[in-house]
Copies of this chain bind each other. A is one copy, B any other.
Amino acid sequence: MATPPSADRIEQVAFGFMASKVLFSAIEFGLFTELAKGALSAEEIQHRIGLHPRSARDFPDALVALGMLERNGTLYSNTRDTDFYLDRGKPTYIGNFFQLWNARVYGFAGSLGEGLKTGKPQNEIKSGDEDWVDAMYRTPERLRLFLRCMTGHSLPSAIAIAQKFPWAKYQTFADIGTAEGCFPAQVAVAHPHLRGEGFDLSAVRPFFEEYVSSFRVQDRVRFRAGDFFKDALPSADVLVMGMILHDWSLDVKQALMKKAYEALPDGGALIVYEHLIDDDRRKNLAGLLMSLIMLLETQEGFDYTGADCCAWMRKAGFKEIRVEQLTGIESMVVGIK
């Protein structure tokens, strides 16, 4: 008999929701934060984070199988990656972002099918609640949490861009839609000659200033209050739009790029970074799934390829446009005025 087809890959994809929930639960329980203090046995983990005996082995072992923990003998420890990104005690913690997915997006994705058929968001908007971003701005506690989530969203690319962009050629930069200032902080720490601004709504200022000060770069990184729809963008040698453009329609994307072009001096650069979809739209799953999250979360947003972004930048007037991969799944597009 011939070898029958395999259902393994189908099953692996089908199990994906359980994999996400195991990771999200570990973040919620602070497991990576506990393990950053030292390796623990299954029994110690069970008591430290309050697991029921039924899950005391399956839960950490599933995290090992997912590549989120290591196990040597009977002791579990963080991987290099989870220790760096998922320990709440480190300034490189990005777990808040996934807690937002756990608390909101996982549930909304339950009606992905309806979203695919109707094209309508499946988040709070659907039930007539106010826009969730507006809701986030309503109390300082919520706003702080939301801005921290955005730091988790931006940090891997911010670290990479701090390393990979030719910052030596420039003196000033401004980050558009900066939130807590994740991007300015990373770049300013890595390049002492730079001065930068974080541009966002005025309510964001105290959180930005607190965050940036924690990196001791507050003398070179300032907050500028403004609305990128209503106001002109700040002028700087380099303007940055990270995980911003995918929230909006093509018209808004193009209008924002045009605004950036107008604000830049000759020779200035625009950096756009996202989970860019590969040009052939078949490899970067994260970009395609992020675009479907934009379907769930926004009225008209979508993610796009590097080639798409290059074409829009060209239309806005930019030249010497290039795409550069930042991580395995995130990339930047750079255009020069």
Contacts and interface: CB of A to CB of B under 8 A. Distances in A.
Most B Cβ at <10 Å: residue of A12, A28, A117: A12
Interface string A186-222: 0000100000000000000000000000000000000
Contact of A68 (B13, B163, B284): B13
Contacts of A163: 1, 4
A5 interface: yes
Interface string A45-64: 00000111111011101101
B15 A52 contact: no
A146 B300 CA distance: 39
A22 interface: yes
B25 A112 contact: yes
A137 interface: no
Interface string A260-293: 0000000000000000010001111110111111
A97 to B, nearest CB: 8
Interface stretch (A103-111, A165-173, A224-232, A316-324): A103-111
A80 B5 contact: yes
Interface stretch (A82-90, A125-133, A236-244, A251-259): A82-90
A9 B94 CA distance: 13
Contact of A16 (B11, B16, B303): B16
A6 interface: yes
Given A5-B84, A59-B292, A106-B110, A116 B52 contact: yes
A101 B133 CA distance: 31
A53 to B, nearest CB: 7
A174 interface: no
A190 B17 contact: no
Contact of A7 (B81, B281, B292): B81
Given A16-B17, A295-B58, A110 B107 contact: yes
B116 A59 contact: yes
Contact of A61 (B9, B118, B281): B281
A135 B10 CA distance: 28
A96 to B, nearest CB: 12
Given A16-B17, A288-B61, A118 B52 contact: yes
A219 to B, nearest CB: 22
A47 to B, nearest CB: 12
Given A62-B292, A119-B55, A81 B17 contact: no
Contacts of A284: 65
Q: 7 closest pairs, A vs B, by CB?
A: A16-B16, A52-B119, A65-B285, A5-B84, A8-B328, A16-B20, A62-B288
Given A12-B285, A64-B282, 7 more contacts: A5-B81, A5-B83, A13-B23, A15-B285, A18-B109, A52-B120, A64-B281
Interface of A: 1, 4-25, 28-29, 50-55, 57-59, 61-62, 64-68, 71, 80-86, 94, 98, 101, 105-107, 109-110, 112-113, 115-120, 155-156, 159-160, 163, 190, 277, 281-286, 288-293, 295, 300, 302-303, 327-329
